[in-house]
């Protein structure tokens, strides 16, 4: 069933292209591992097992890593009330609702489809935002679910995770594997090189898609609520407060930057911005200003 979130053909095209390119890289990566490791069954079983686990259990993995837990309407009536209203407006299934006990102000959506989605907010976000600002953030996250880009990012990020694991495995095998002949060492070095290349390619492709999907979610949320100024206010508040969060807490959350409302990083250089999972705050605010002008100044519907 299609929701009332505006379809985004640009996002759909980019998701299809990203998945196609990553699929080619994935096939080449698995083929290279089979040739280098000379074990067809082992490589396929490990690759398929990790992909299946990430796809089917991505919501549980994310909640566990972010110290999140599902909450009932009795436990969080305001949060559930906002989600209920947005889902009714968007005509989409209501996802499960979770809260993460972290001071880092943020939110994310995860899950393989709209019927198995979870939307999670941190206690730091709930404490800082007004109701209309929270509505904008939640509409942003719900649009990720409606546009199915949550599932695409989950699958796309798998290749980088797998390549990273292979690099670590090969590195520690060389480091602690004891005496090895030159052929074995050469094979492990080649596995590390191929894996590092695959990781770099997936890294760049995912970030290019992620930056566009964040702008698409901002636009969809602003159009659904009719309040781009409230979303802009939430962005400004959250981005400003993230800069004051202790570095150790940011490091804990950075693995999930591609899923967050705003990245868990401090403002960086132009090079850092190029490799970011999100557009700059200024770019997002400018896009919301354009939507506000389209809606007649960003006022109420």
CA 207 – CA 258 distance, rounded (Å): 8
CA 207 – CA 274 distance, rounded (Å): 9
* Sheet containing 96-100, strands listed edge to edge, beginning at the edge strand earlier in sequence: 68-70, 96-100, 118-122, 107-110
Q: What is the 3-state secondary structure (H, E, C) of 48-116?
A: HHHHHHHHHCHHHHHHHHCCEEECCCCCCHHHHHHHHHHHHHHCCCCCEEEEECCCCCCEEEECCCHHH
289 in catalytic set: no
Q: List C-alpha distances in Å: 90 to 2, 5, 85, 109, 240.
A: 9, 6, 9, 16, 30
What does 154-223 look like in DSSP terms, one character per residue? HHHHHHHHHHHHHHHHHHHHHHHS-S--HHHHHHHHHHHHHHHHHHHHHHHHHHHHHHHHHHHHHHHHHH
CA 137 – CA 127 distance, rounded (Å): 14
Among candidate residues 155, 159, 188, 186, the one with its CA nearest the CA of residue 171: 188
Q: Helix or strand or coil: residue 31?
A: helix
Question: Phi, psi at residue 114, to the nearest 5°?
Answer: -65, -30
Tokens of 234: 């939430």
Q: Exactly one of 132, 141, 286, 290 is catalytic; which is it? A: 141
Active site residues: 141
């Amino acid at each position: 069933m299609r929701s009332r979130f505006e379809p985004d053909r640009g996002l759909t095209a980019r998701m299809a292209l990203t998945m196609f390119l990553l699929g080619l890289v994935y096939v080449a990566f698995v083929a290279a591992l089979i040739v280098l490791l000379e074990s067809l069954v082992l490589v396929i079983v490990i690759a398929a097992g990790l992909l299946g686990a990430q796809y089917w259990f991505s919501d549980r993995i994310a909640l566990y890593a972010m110290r999140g837990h599902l909450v009932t309407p009795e436990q969080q009536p305001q949060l559930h009330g906002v989600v209920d209203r947005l889902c009714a407006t968007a005509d989409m299934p209501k996802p499960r609702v979770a809260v993460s006990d972290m001071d880092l102000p943020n939110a994310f959506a995860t899950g393989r489809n709209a019927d198995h989605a979870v939307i999670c907010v941190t206690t730091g976000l709930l404490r800082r935002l007004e109701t209309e600002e929270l509505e904008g953030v939640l509409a942003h996250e719900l649009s990720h679910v409606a546009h199915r880009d949550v599932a695409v990012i989950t699958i796309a990020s798998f290749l980088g995770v797998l390549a990273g694991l292979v690099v670590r495995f090969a590195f520690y095998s060389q480091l602690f594997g004891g005496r090895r002949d030159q052929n074995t060492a050469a094979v492990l070095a080649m596995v590390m090189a191929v894996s590092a290349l695959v990781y770099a390619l997936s890294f760049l492709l995912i970030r290019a898609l992620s930056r566009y999907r964040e702008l698409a979610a901002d636009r969809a949320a602003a159009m659904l609520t009719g309040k781009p100024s409230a979303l802009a206010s939430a962005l400004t508040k959250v981005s400003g407060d993230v800069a004051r969060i202790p570095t150790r807490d940011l490091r804990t959350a950075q693995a999930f930057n591609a899923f967050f409302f705003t990245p868990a990083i401090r403002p960086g250089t132009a090079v850092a911005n190029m490799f970011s999972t999100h557009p700059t705050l200024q770019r997002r605010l400018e896009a919301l200003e354009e939507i506000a002008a389209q809606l007649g100044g960003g006022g109420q519907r």
